[in-house]
A and B are shown apart, each in its own frame.
Chain A
Amino acid sequence: MSDIDKATVAKIARLARIRIEDDKLEPLAGELNGIMGWIEQLNEVNTDDIAPMASVVNAKLRWREDVVNDGDKQDSVLKNAPRAEYGFFAVPKVIE
């Protein structure tokens, strides 16, 4: 059922911006296939007419009022930035 190959691992890693050395791709594919196979056991359970569960506790989404009570903290926001200039984050040039 699961057929995660080396190329798929490389693609997922690239999309997630995680560098994985070439020689690690094959073993990772094996591990991921193992995990997927394990999860796929769940397919044996009949879930017809059962709504997906969104939470394990009986909770509802909390709403907030439309009030401005946050922001105005440029210093905190930029504090961990490797580089900030004139109140902006300065990141390596993104070429369009």
Chain B
Amino acid sequence: MSNYVIQGATGDFEVVIGLEVHAQVTSNAKLFSGASTEFGAEPNAQVSLVDAAMPGMLPTINEECVRQAVRTGLAIGAEINKYSVFDRKNYFYADLPQGYQISQFKHPIVGEGTIVLDLEDGKTKHVGVERIHLEQDAGKSMHDQHPQYTYVDLNRSGVALMEIVSKPDMRSPEEAGAYLTKLRTIVRYIGACDGNMEQGSMRADVNVSVRRPGEGLGTRCEIKNVNSIRFVRQAIEVEARRQVDIIEDGGSIDQETRLFDPVKGETRSMRSKEEAHDYRYFPDPDLLPLEFDDAFIDAARESLPELPDAKKARFMTELGLNDYNASVLVAEGETADFYEAFLAAVVNKTGKKPAEVAAKAANWVLSDLFGALNKAGLTISESPVGAVAGAELLALIEDGTISGRIAKDVFEVMFSTGKSAETIVEEQGLKQVSDTGEIEKIIDAVIAANPNQLAQYRSGKDKLIGFFVGQVMKETGGKANPGLVNQLLKPKLDG
């Protein structure tokens, strides 16, 4: 996977990628005001006079935003800075009423940490995080509503963002995608950010440069505001190719800000923002340094749930799940929680040990349940079949009441009607037939009805046993215990 190379006319190039991810902190109120952060309100209805930058208004920091930044830092094993400073980042834009963004420049709240990427074939890669700092979001501009005017909505203005800055440790579009995926999983697990990229709760600035293997870092371009994991991968591919072409034509890369256009599949220079790079940071005189003690950090640490890497390791070592199943189950906290509740219910119903039924339970969740949910366009929290109801079905297979094949039919009915597995089995008479006498009667009848096949079988075509098994299953509507059928059939066929 790290062998991603761009083949140029004059040789191979590698790509060097760093990501700056803006993640909206989950909080009720904004970073420095008491206005709501809720998505989708009427324009300018969630704006305080602080957010609108009216003269004389003073910012007051929201403790929850501080706590969430600390929790995120702890979740990636980062250094937490008990002393950090808010600075003003100065630039003019219509959706930034203050004329500056309150951010953290020299002294961020979180220092260096690490994110472990899950790559193909169960491989992992460690990517460094340089820092996480807290800052304000800007408002939203709409340029296409009026021929002469740009409309500005300040509802987002002042909402808390964490800017999570990676080191330039990634070497392929896939690694960048895996980084974003993992980061998103972590912030969603701990509840620091909802990770919703469509609504803009998470977006990435992607730094891309290319070099021939062994060379120092090339000049980078920053692709702004990419809002899906797929687009991040595509943007890197086209930008790296663009840079290689320029270098091979004897040109040089200008360090600049670019925009990814997914429709045209290209990146474009954003010349309008060039001058804005002179931000003239200085400590915000309205805010004293942000300080907290070890007790605050300890409380934040104690509030963290089991993190995805730890959960995956536990699923593999304690429950014996394979790498793939464990990865898929832990990718979303909701899925992992459902699986654990389901497994506990199965253990409860069957009296078996977790490790004995864990793999079967995982397969059922990932193929049967997920298959049905995907088809119906539902999420796991909307599943018509809950953990306990599902466990009842699996228990019926485990104790031999129904076969695995019948279970699939029962599950379909459960999914569409919400009835319990036991009720469906009872109502439709689907209990597996394990009565030797009854099965023998059916076998005798099947053999009697197919003398030709019997003769062929006896003359050496012993694969025909499958045909007889099929006929018996058909006669019983799939209810005969298949193990028992095989056991009884063979001596009768052999005569």
Task: List residues of A whose CB falls within 8 A of some B CB.
Answer: 11, 14-15, 17, 54-55, 59-74, 76-78, 83, 85-96
Closest to A76 in B: B49
Contact B47–A60 (Cβ < 8 Å)? no
Contact A90–B61 (Cβ < 8 Å)? no
Given A63-B66, A89-B154, A91-B150; A71-B46 close (CB under 8 Å)? yes
Contact A77–B141 (Cβ < 8 Å)? no
Given A59-B288, A61-B290, A85-B146; A70-B33 close (CB under 8 Å)? yes
Which chain A residues border B492 with CB–CB below 8 Å?
none
Which chain B residues border A96 with CB–CB below 8 Å?
143, 270, 272
Contact A77–B28 (Cβ < 8 Å)? no
Given A77-B52, A88-B151, A94-B143; A68-B44 close (CB under 8 Å)? no
Given A64-B34, A68-B35, A94-B141; A55-B288 close (CB under 8 Å)? yes
Q: A63 touches which one: B27, B47, B61 (CB < 8 A)?
A: B61
Given A61-B287, A74-B44, A89-B44; A68-B34 close (CB under 8 Å)? yes
Which chain B residues border A60 with CB–CB below 8 Å?
288, 291
Binary A-proximity of B39-64 (CB < 8 A = 1, otherwise 0): 00011111111101000000011111
Q: Which one, B275-283, B406-414, B453-461, is touching chain A?
A: B275-283
* Whole-angstrom distance between the Cβ of A36 and the nearest chain B Cβ: 15
* Whole-angstrom distance between the Cβ of B136 and the nearest chain A Cβ: 15
Which chain A residues border B270 with CB–CB below 8 Å?
96
Which chain A residues border B90 with CB–CB below 8 Å?
15
Q: B62 touches which one: A66, A72, A74, A77 (CB < 8 A)?
A: A66
Contact B154–A77 (Cβ < 8 Å)? yes
Given A61-B287, A88-B152; A69-B143 close (CB under 8 Å)? no
Closest to B36 in A: A68
A60–B293 alpha-carbon span in the complex (Å): 13
Contact A91–B152 (Cβ < 8 Å)? yes
Contact B45–A74 (Cβ < 8 Å)? yes
Q: B60 touches which one: A55, A63, A72, A88 (CB < 8 A)?
A: A63
Contact B29–A68 (Cβ < 8 Å)? yes
Contacting residues of chain B (42-100) with chain A, CB-CB under 8 angstroms:
42-50, 52, 60-66, 85, 90, 92-94
* Whole-angstrom distance between the Cβ of A32 and the nearest chain B Cβ: 15
* Whole-angstrom distance between the Cβ of A53 and the nearest chain B Cβ: 10
Closest to B292 in A: A63
* Whole-angstrom distance between the Cβ of A95 and the nearest chain B Cβ: 7
A/B interface sample: 23 pairs, CB < 8 A: A59-B288, A60-B291, A61-B287, A64-B60, A67-B29, A68-B29, A68-B36, A71-B45, A71-B46, A72-B46, A76-B49, A77-B44, A78-B44, A85-B151, A86-B43, A86-B151, A87-B43, A88-B152, A89-B153, A93-B146, A93-B149, A93-B150, A95-B143
